[in-house]
């Protein structure tokens, strides 16, 4: 529960009916906070109202609807008086190779995974600015940092876009006391790769890439390593800190993959440094290229 050292916070969480969103709603309420929990079908949140009463406000929200996002933010702020933490969690992924992906499906995923984040973040800025600050938490993925997961190009491209958008959002709104934290999980035991995911027919040409990735995500017979309840508690505790990181990795694979990726990027930048610098007028040109590596 809250005390003098941990003042009660008010959360606004999208995609609250399942997965990370649901775990976050419960973790915030267990911490003594208040939550505006949004979902396409808010009736799915009835159990929280029964358990926590007026500390939870279920709201209907399709994040792809910008006007609905503004209305939901306004209703939450009017009901609770303020919003301290906005969580953009709603999202999903379908599996198919880029070559054979249905264009409408690719766009529909992007509408939720990126434009949903844009809509809610933009709607929240006036409220957070007027009250003197707050925290915006954007759910990304370790794939939104390292990339390269075959079969989920729309989802992963959207997560990269969320990161770029969030970096600009953080700089623009910092003078208003608004902070931004991007959460980058690895595999967790949620429904993300279950009934929420549609898998298109995968041809033999893509069996070694998209097919193999699909098997790892859905057909291994073992659940992902990450515990969403633990992650939710970590996020709730982190949100209380004035020094919350700009990017929060959650899960062993997220940490290992990110460190390996960053080290490889740095090594590549150093290897090509002289060539890269030589493109500027003031630098020596031409520059010696690094020796070719074996194919």
Task: List strands edge to edge, sheet with 34-39.
Answer: 56-60, 34-39, 10-13, 85-88, 134-139, 178-185, 247-250
Annotated catalytic residue: which of 121, 159, 186, 206?
Answer: 159
Q: What is the pLDDT of residues 158-202, one digit of tens each?
A: 999 999 999 999 999 999 999 999 999 998 887 654 556 677 678
Annotated catalytic residue: which of 16, 121, 140, 141?
Answer: 140
Query: What average pLDDT is seen over the chain?
Result: 92
Tokens of 23: 């775990």
Query: Residue for token digits 């700009």?
Result: 246
Q: What is the mean pLDDT of residues 40-51?
A: 95
pLDDT at 109 over 70: yes
pLDDT at 62 over 50: yes
Annotated catalytic residue: which of 16, 121, 154, 155?
Answer: 155
- What's the confidence (pLDDT) of residue 277? 98
The domain 10-250 is placed in CATH, from the list 3.40.50.800, 3.40.462.10, 1.10.10.10, 3.40.50.720, at 3.40.50.720
pLDDT at 218 over 60: no
C-alpha Rg value of the chain to the nearest Å: 21
Specify whether 118 is catalytic: no
Specify whether 155 is catalytic: yes
Please report the DSSP string for 197-260 in residue order. --B----GGGIIIIIHHHHHHHSSSS--SB-HHHHHHHHHHHHT-TT--SEEEESHHHHHHHHH
pLDDT at 220 over 70: no
Distance CA 184, CA 255 (A): 9
154 contacts: CB under 8 Å, gap ≥ 6: 93, 94, 101, 105, 106, 107, 109, 110, 113
- What's the confidence (pLDDT) of residue 187? 87
* Helix/strand/coil (H/E/C) assignment for every residue in 46-76: HHHHHHHHHHEEEEECCCCCHHHHHHHHHHH
Specify whether 159 is catalytic: yes
- What's the confidence (pLDDT) of residue 234? 98
Question: What backbone torsions phi and psi does residue 95 show, to the nearest 5 degrees?
Answer: -110, 125
pLDDT at 74 over 80: yes
Distance CA 136, CA 178 (A): 7
- What's the confidence (pLDDT) of residue 200? 67
User: If we measure between CA atoms, which residue out of 51, 153, 54 comes closest to residue 103?
Assistant: 153
């Amino acid at each position: 529960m809250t005390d003098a050292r941990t003042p009660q916070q008010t959360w606004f969480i999208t995609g609250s009916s399942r997965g990370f969103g649901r775990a976050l709603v419960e973790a915030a309420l267990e911490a003594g906070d208040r939550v505006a929990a949004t979902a396409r079908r808010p009736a799915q949140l009835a159990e929280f109202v029964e358990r926590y009463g007026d500390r939870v406000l279920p709201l209907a929200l399709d994040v792809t609807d910008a006007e609905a996002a503004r209305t939901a933010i306004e209703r939450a702020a009017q009901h609770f008086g303020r919003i301290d933490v906005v969580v953009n969690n709603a999202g999903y992924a379908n599996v198919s190779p880029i070559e054979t992906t249905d264009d409408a499906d690719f766009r529909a995923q992007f509408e939720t995974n990126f434009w949903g984040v844009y809509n809610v973040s933009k709607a929240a800025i006036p409220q957070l600015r007027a009250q003197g600050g707050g925290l915006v938490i954007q759910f990304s993925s370790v794939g939104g940092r390292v990339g390269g997961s075959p079969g989920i190009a729309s989802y992963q491209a959207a997560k990269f876009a969320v990161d770029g958008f969030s970096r600009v959002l953080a700089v623009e709104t910092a003078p208003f006391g608004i902070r931004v934290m991007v959460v980058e999980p690895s595999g967790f035991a949620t429904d993300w790769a279950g009934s929420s995911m549609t898998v298109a027919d995968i041809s033999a040409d893509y069996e070694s890439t998209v097919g193999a990735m699909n098997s790892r995500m859905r057909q291994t017979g073992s659940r992902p390593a990450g515990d969403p309840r633990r992650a939710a508690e970590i996020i709730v505790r982190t949100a209380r800190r004035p020094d919350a990181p700009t990017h929060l990795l959650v899960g062993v694979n997220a940490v290992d993959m990110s460190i390996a990726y960053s080290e490889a990027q740095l090594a590549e930048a150093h290897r090509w440094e002289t060539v890269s610098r030589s493109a500027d007028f003031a630098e020596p040109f031409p520059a010696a290229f690094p020796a070719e590596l074996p194919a």
